[in-house]
């Protein structure tokens, strides 16, 4: 088994293990939502700081806030929170054991312990990767989904919260009452303006409880924005078996990711921060332009190709993106409809960035599932794809046909039937509403467009857009995704 003892008698060549004394570390970070991405990204940067720069005060206490996290608790706690990270390249891979997470708390079992841990003086940063849906943020109205039963629970029931806001609020309140400086709240989720969004949603939550305390949060809390990037698919049983063969010991929760990694982080911390720059994090004054580039060109590419690729029968992203039609569709969409909207960044060529994204997606070793990319479209499409359409519509000669085709792919996917009529599961917090609207509409996008939390009036009421979307949806439904792409690329020979 992987644990503190087995790493001391390590014998696997080319697999590095932590050389720092894990027992001597102080947990300066509490991380909410220890999924694959946190462990391939932030936990690795901290691990490198511990391994190479003696950053003893910054190990991580991982926290699972929701019931399904029991599996991660069992896996991590059974192996002293160590895990294997494999960076899988096209030609070679790097495997290492990561030791920066030093404990794990499972909130549904003991919410008080989590609140106290966050409130403790040693905790200087509370970071999060809880997926877009964990923020209860309505993109269309830029507001907190305060009617959600989980948020309602947290407003009434302070001792056993269910959402990030209940936990953050209670922990910050304790620190306030104890006269402690508040921790920094650091979102590492893929959301536009992630730090600002988290902070404003927390303030909105707090206002519903105590307006004075909300004002204190507004004044005192630092919430850096960040742009995070590293493709990290869900670990498969095959990965687990492969790794246990090369390691010769069992790891219950290994992570596999691509070799590429990027983190652009706003320099905004209330209680100090690890020396991020030493391990390759770009610490900048304004993350905005980097983030926009990534959300529109990387996440937007994923979403636009995901639904069409799924309908075309592809299982893996590398298969979908190496289909010549899909490849050309994405390259053309990015070049013609997305890149012209992006504000310039000194030293960055967006065409090159888009090219690198496509290269990364073509890596067959990653085996990123198309179905993973299709998860939670209600949280993704309004952030990654729809804003480009809205901005193109605002221009006199805006081009948005190819983006619209991506939306049509999503709408057709939401019927829950593939192109041969076989039903599949849609994983989305809004699944039942979406499926009902998609099936009611069929080749008519209106019932889905009527969902106001997803589509703002600029799109819903724009006749030209609705007409183009109807045509694209008809095309995808009648002729299939690849023929539809071929048709829409007719002007781009
Ligand atoms: P994952 O499924 O492995 O982990 C998700 C984590 O979020 C789990 O710990 C889960 O319990 C928690 N969570 C989900 N809903 C929650 C809720 N409502 N409240 C509290 N916690 C909740 O997913 P992952 O691959 O780690 O990705 C997590 C997020 O990281 C993504 O949604 C995205 O924002 C960001 N991200 C992921 C990647 C990637 O390639 N996987 C790349 C960049 C950014």
- CA proximity to 263, closest of 279, 243, 274: 279
Do 135 and 201 contact (CB within 8 A), yes or no? yes
**β-strand partners of 182:** none
The b/e string for 30-66 (b: 16+ C-beta within 10 A; e otherwise) is: bbbbbbbbbbbbbbbbbbbbbbeeebeebbbbbbbbe
∠ CA 290-258-229, nearest 5°, is: 20
Of 38, 129, 164, 235, the one to substitute when testing ligand 1's pocket (max ligand atoms within 8 A of C-beta) is 129
CA atoms within 13 A on the CB side of 433: 13
**End residue of a domain, out of 257, 284, 311:** 284
% of the chain with per-residue pLDDT over 70: 100
Q: Is residue 493 part of a domain?
A: no
CB of residue 151 inside a 6 A radius of ligand 1 = no
- Return the CATH number at 425: 1.10.1040.10
260: helix, strand or coil: coil
> In the structure encoding, which two tokens stand for residue 334, read together?
């990015």
228 touches ligand 1 (CB under 6 Å): yes
Residue 143 belongs to some domain of the structure: yes
139 pLDDT above the threshold of 80: no
Domain contains 330: yes
Ligand 1 pocket: which of 130, 135, 153 to mutate (most atoms <8 Å of CB)? 130
Burial class of residue 8 in the structure, from the number of CB atoms within 10 Å of its CB (0-12 exposed, 13-18 middle, 19+ buried) = exposed
What CATH number corresponds to the domain at position 74?
3.40.50.720
H or E, element range at 85: strand 83-88
The residue to mutate among 32, 33, 135, having the most atoms of ligand 1 within 8 angstroms of its beta carbon, is 33
Same domain, 280 and 296: no
Say which DSSP state 423 is in: B
Mark whether 48 and 20 lie in a shared domain.
yes
Same domain, 314 and 438: yes
Per-residue pLDDT tens digits for 440-461: 999 999 999 999 999 999 999 9
> Using CA atoms, how far apart are residues 137 and 132, in angstroms rounded to an integer?
8
Contact by Cβ (8 Å): 20, 50: yes
Domain count along the chain = 2
Residue 493 has pLDDT above 80, yes or no: no
Asked whether residue 457 is assigned to any structural domain, the reply reads yes
Of 284, 303, 335, at which residue does a domain stop?
Answer: 284
Our answer on whether the CB atom of 134 is closer than 6 Å to any ligand 1 atom is yes
- Per-residue pLDDT band for 332 (boundaries 50, 70, 90) equals very high
Any ligand 1 atom below 6 A from CB of 232: yes
The pick from 34, 37, 383 for probing ligand 1's pocket by mutation, whose C-beta has the most ligand atoms within 8 angstroms, reads 37
pLDDT in tens, 185-241: 999 998 889 999 999 999 999 999 999 999 999 999 999 999 999 989 899 999 999
Whole-number Å distance, alpha carbon 76 to ligand 1 midpoint, is: 17
Pocket test for ligand 1, best of 34, 35, 302 (most atoms within 8 A of CB): 35
Q: Contact at 8 Å (CB) between 88 and 239?
A: no
Whether 232 and 349 map to the same domain: the answer is no
Within this chain, do residues 73 and 123 fall inside the same structural domain, yes or no?
yes
Strand partners, 486: none
Q: Is the CB of 194 under 6 A from ligand 1?
A: no
In which residue are the tokens 């010991």 written?
249
Q: What is the mean pLDDT of the chain?
A: 96
Ligand 1 centroid to residue 133 C-alpha, Å: 9
Q: Which residue has the higher pLDDT, 90 or 333?
A: 333
Has residue 340 got a pLDDT over 90?
yes
CA distances to 131, 304, 371 from 310, rounded to whole Å, are 21, 11, 7
Domain range for 360 is 288-488
- The domain boundary, picked from 284, 301, 318, lies at 284
Q: Is the pLDDT reported for residue 93 higher than 80?
A: yes
Do 248 and 383 lie in a common domain?
Answer: no
CA of 393 to the centre of ligand 1 (A): 32
258 Cβ inside 6 Å of ligand 1: no
Kindly report the protein residue whose alpha carbon is nearest to atom 32 of ligand 1: 131
Same domain for 308 and 272: no
Verify whether ligand 1 is closer than 6 Å to residue 62 (CB atom): no
DSSP 276: G
Contacts of 304 (CB under 8 A, 6+ apart): 329, 330, 333, 385, 402, 403, 405, 406, 409
Q: Same domain, yes or no, for 319 and 422?
A: yes
Residue 359 sits in the same domain as residue 453:
yes
Neighbours of 277 (CB within 10 A): 11
In the chain the first and final C-alpha atoms are separated, in Å, by 56
Question: Could you tell me if the CB of 36 is within 6 A of ligand 1?
Answer: yes
| In a shared domain, residues 313 and 344 | yes
* CA of 372 relative to ligand 1 center, distance in Å: 11
Based on the fold, state whether residues 117 and 249 are members of the same structural domain: yes
34 lines ligand 1 (CB under 6 A): yes
Is residue 83 domain-shared with residue 194, that is, in the same domain?
Answer: yes
Buried b (16+ CB within 10 A) or exposed e, 401-432: bbbbbbbbbbbbbbbebebeeeeeebebbbbe
Cβ neighbourhood burial of 121 (10 Å; 0-12, 13-18, 19+): exposed
């Amino acid at each position: 088994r992987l644990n503190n003892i087995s790493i001391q008698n390590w014998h696997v060549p080319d697999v590095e293990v932590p050389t720092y004394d894990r027992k001597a570390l102080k947990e300066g970070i509490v991380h909410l939502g220890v999924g694959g991405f946190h462990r391939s990204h932030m936990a690795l940067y901290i691990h490198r700081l511990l391994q190479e720069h003696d950053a003893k005060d910054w190990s991580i206490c991982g926290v699972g806030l929701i019931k399904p996290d029991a599996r991660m608790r069992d896996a991590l706690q059974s192996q002293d929170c160590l895990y294997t990270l494999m960076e899988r390249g096209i030609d070679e891979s790097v495997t290492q054991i990561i030791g920066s997470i030093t404990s794990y708390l499972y909130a549904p079992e003991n919410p008080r312990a989590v609140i106290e841990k966050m409130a403790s003086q040693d905790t200087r940063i509370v970071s999060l990767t809880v997926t877009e849906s964990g923020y209860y943020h309505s993109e269309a109205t830029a507001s907190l989904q305060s009617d959600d039963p989980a948020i309602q629970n947290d407003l009434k029931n302070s001792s056993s919260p269910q959402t990030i806001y209940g936990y953050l609020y209670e922990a910050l309140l304790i620190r306030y009452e104890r006269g402690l400086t508040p921790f920094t709240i650091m979102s590492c989720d893929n959301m536009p303006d992630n730090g600002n969004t988290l902070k404003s949603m927390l303030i909105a939550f707090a206002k519903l409880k105590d307006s004075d305390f909300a004002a204190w949060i507004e004044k005192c809390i630092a919430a850096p924005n960040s742009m995070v990037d590293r493709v990290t698919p869900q670990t498969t049983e095959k990965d687990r078996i492969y790794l246990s063969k090369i390691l010769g010991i069992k790891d219950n929760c290994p992570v596999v990711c691509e070799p590429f990694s990027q983190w652009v982080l706003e320099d905004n911390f209330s209680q100090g921060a690890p020396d991020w720059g030493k391990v390759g994090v770009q610490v900048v004054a304004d993350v905005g332009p980097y983030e926009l580039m990534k959300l529109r060109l990387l996440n937007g590419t994923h979403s636009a190709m995901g639904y069409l690729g799924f309908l075309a029968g592809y299982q893996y992203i590398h298969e979908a993106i190496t289909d010549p039609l899909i490849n050309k569709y994405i390259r053309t969409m990015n070049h013609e409809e997305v890149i012209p909207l992006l504000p310039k960044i000194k030293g960055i060529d967006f065409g090159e960035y888009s090219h690198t994204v496509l290269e990364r997606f073509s890596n067959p070793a990653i085996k990123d599932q198309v179905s993973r990319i299709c998860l939670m479209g209600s949280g993704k499409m309004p952030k990654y794809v729809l804003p480009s359409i809205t901005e193109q519509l605002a221009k006199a000669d805006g081009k948005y046909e190819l983006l619209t085709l991506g939306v049509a792919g999503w709408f057709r996917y939401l019927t829950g039937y593939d192109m041969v009529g076989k039903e599949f599961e849609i994983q989305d917090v809004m699944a039942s509403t979406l499926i009902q609207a998609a099936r009611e509409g069929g080749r008519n996008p209106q019932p889905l467009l009527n969902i106001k939390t997803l589509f703002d009036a600029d799109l819903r009421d724009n006749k030209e857009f609705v007409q183009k979307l109807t045509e694209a949806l008809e095309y995808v439904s009648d002729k299939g995704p690849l023929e539809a792409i071929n048709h829409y690329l007719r002007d781009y020979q």
